[in-house]
Amino acid sequence: MPATRIAYVPSADAIELLVIDHDKIRKLFDDFNRSHAAGLKHEAERIARQVCAELTIHATLEQEIFYPEARAELDDTDLVKQAKVEHAMEQQLIGQIAAGFIDDDKYAAKVRVLRENIERHMREEEDRMFPNMQQSGLEMQEIGARILARKLDLIAELGAGADNRRMGKRRRRSEFGNYASRRAA
Ligand SMILES: [Fe+2]
């Protein structure tokens, strides 16, 4: 069935949208820790998959839409190159977690390492790249509209968005695991 398209995309500032994603990702990592510490294994595994899905969608939006704008606009293109390398490394861990199970040896360790890497990456964006972009004079509402539209496409394409609960767990897992592996390649 074709993905549902919407004709109108509400305006939103690109950087605000990306920071909202960051905060959601941070909260999900906290939720994972709580569930894991409480011995709620299946809940912890579900949350870890949700983190992987959110991160993959977020990284795709940055790489397809935001980073090309940043690269064209900022003098410090090393910032963008570094962010892309970090994404590629993160995707390898995401692929392993998305294809894994909570009882796997090192599963929780992988989630912890992913969190540390992602936190560093998000801080770098929030402290350096985003403020520089805010001063660039680029039209953040227009970039934000493209980010929102692409996000809806990705959620439909992956069936892995946090709010998509229609698919069975197995299908969601395999489709998302394949996508995460492709992005890590
Ligand atoms: Fe980001």
Q: How confident is the model at residue 179 (pLDDT cuts 50, 70, 90)?
A: low
The pTM of this model reads: 0.80
Question: Ligand 1 centroid to 166 CA: how many Å?
Answer: 27
Contacts of 150 (CB under 8 A, 6+ apart): 60, 61, 64, 65
Residue span of the structural domain in which 120 resides: 14-184
In a domain, 4, yes or no: no
Q: How confident is the model at residue 73 (pLDDT cuts 50, 70, 90)?
A: confident
Query: What tens digit of pLDDT does each residue of 25-50 get?
Result: 999 999 999 999 999 999 999 999 99
> Are 174 and 92 within 8 A, CB to CB?
no
In a domain, 65, yes or no: yes
Domains of the chain: total: 1
In a domain, 49, yes or no: yes
d(CA 25, CA 20): 9
Question: Ligand 1 centroid to 39 CA: how many Å?
Answer: 30
In a domain, 8, yes or no: no
In a domain, 19, yes or no: yes
Q: CB burial class (10 A; 0-12, 13-18, 19+) of residue 60?
A: buried
Question: Ligand 1 centroid to 169 CA: how many Å?
Answer: 27
